[in-house]
Structure 1
């Protein structure tokens, strides 16, 4: 089985789409499926179309219905092969709601299959577009803990600090400035509180405002983009990992990575987070600043709660989110789609 994977983003490699596609491609090889990645942030769509026509795969697999899906649809027509779409978040929560709606729906209607990371995303799609329900399947994300070779280059936080860590690309949907106000209040109560933010700058205008706000708070620090070979050290040092996103495509890599490292998660109450973070079991969920502050305070004061949530999260990842299991599910889907197309 040969698959062409089309992703809108592959550079920088720490971005969510890049982490997901790289993991799936590598583990597909282990289950006997050759996967070639075509990245739209490195190659023009026209060149990808030419490459696919020159050497047609058995199946095309695109990530993000609008960004990757439109290229996959055209490539599939030119090569005479089926294509599948993995929903990644903004396609469901934005592109199906704005001026991109018609194009996105065309891509989804023509796809042989649609993959959601969790049933909450499948339900959202089928509630709005019932005709797509029959070909939408759920394949949970896998997770691989990133590396730990990180040089702190300054403060090492070994004086009893309680570190909140927010790994996220700096763009509006990640809402990285949200925790500053409640954590500032908590820092006045508990001076040991710190906030670390790490991730690539993905929106220049938003990043300028966000980094300026972070700099105005002495307990907070932006570390820039930290590579996959190093960011694990930040998870190891963190006492709590945050996800403040306004939406996620089913489950964030950062949340799964935090759980893999046995860290408690404090996350926004959105579909993508509640699919993994179970209140009081693998983490805590918040709605608004007041609830964030209340639960952050609980985590600062109660080390045993942090340990309990982290231990449960690590066990959950081991049982349900193995990357080999994810790849095997995709390979089985490919075979089903290709068999039907023959």
Structure 2
């Protein structure tokens, strides 16, 4: 089946890495997957022209608002994959939320990376400003260095040389950085927000902090307790193996796209 896949493809970002991985899953099952950057299109009519020109039979979008809204009203069936921005940011804007609700009504399936994301989506239906704030704070913080996007191989090499990964995000869907650190056997300290808590069990697969003071306390505890570090690293790696298996993810997406294929044939 010839499949259109819309995603935000800025290089070396979690979205781009996820999109490439999903495309690989689908092509391994024999589908032809045309991956396109959602930001290259301004309206559904442009997508309609692409569908006709490329003889596409079904579609998939990463993010309801950024990609899913472009797939509405076409003759081909489509599915969507929730992104953290959908639930943590765009759902707070009335107009965007209404658009995403309509996308969900038309989609044949929806994928949420974690149970908490699924629950948030059910509750809600059934980013430049933030970036500037972060950069400004980093400039004022002693001993903190802001790095740009890195190739995955370089990022993993740097991560393996670190004592721990710190995720201080105030908004997360499913943090690829946390999962990568667990897989690389690097201890994780993460802010206690729903997206992070869905992946990190405090004291078992990592440590969760609520504020800067608790972060300092937990970081000191981790430094003083090598046994805790060894246990969390082992449990984290096992969590990734059991719950974020590359093979299971591949099989799941292949099964879901099989549903689109059957819909296209009907």
Give TM-score scaled by structure 1 length.
0.71
Alignment of 1:69-148 (within 5 A): 69-74=68-73, 77=74, 80-99=75-94, 100-129=96-125, 132=126
- Correspondence for 1:24: 22
Residues 262 and 312 of structure 1 are in contact (CA less than 8 Å); yes or no, is this contact kept in structure 2? no
Q: Which runs of 5+ in 1 are unaligned?
A: 133-168, 173-202
Residues 84 and 113 of structure 1 are in contact (CA less than 8 Å); yes or no, is this contact kept in structure 2? yes
Distance in 2, matches of 1:332 and 1:22, equals: 18
Alignment of 1:141-290 (within 5 A): 172=130, 203=131, 205-206=132-133, 208-214=135-141, 217=142, 219-249=143-173, 251-290=174-213
Q: Displacement of 1:264 after TM fit? A: 1.2
Q: Displacement of 1:207 after TM fit? A: 5.0
- Aligned to 1:246, the other structure's residue is in SS state coil
- Correspondence for 2:64: 65
Could you say which structure has the higher helix fraction?
A: 2
Residues 25 and 253 of structure 2 are in contact (CA less than 8 Å); yes or no, is this contact kept in structure 1? no
Q: Displacement of 1:322 after TM fit? A: 2.2
- Correspondence for 1:310: 233
Task: State the Cα deviation string for residues 79-121 of structure 1 (Å, max 9, x = none).
Answer: x111111110111122222132221211111111111111211
Cα separation, partners in 2 of 1:65 and 1:254, compared to 1, 3 Å: same
Task: State the Cα deviation string for residues 191-221 of structure 1 (Å, max 9, x = none).
Answer: xxxxxxxxxxxx3x3354134124xx1x333
Distance in 1, matches of 2:211 and 2:151, equals: 31
- Correspondence for 1:194: none
Residues 91 and 124 of structure 2 are in contact (CA less than 8 Å); yes or no, is this contact kept in structure 1? no
What root-mean-square deviation, in Å, do the aligned CA atoms of Structure 1 and Structure 2 show?
Answer: 2.2
Q: Displacement of 1:38 after TM fit? A: 0.7
Q: Displacement of 1:259 after TM fit? A: 0.6
Tell whether 2:31 aligns with 1:5.
Answer: no
Aligned residues: 263
Give TM-score scaled by structure 2 length.
0.90
Q: Displacement of 1:229 after TM fit? A: 2.7
Q: Displacement of 1:35 after TM fit? A: 1.6
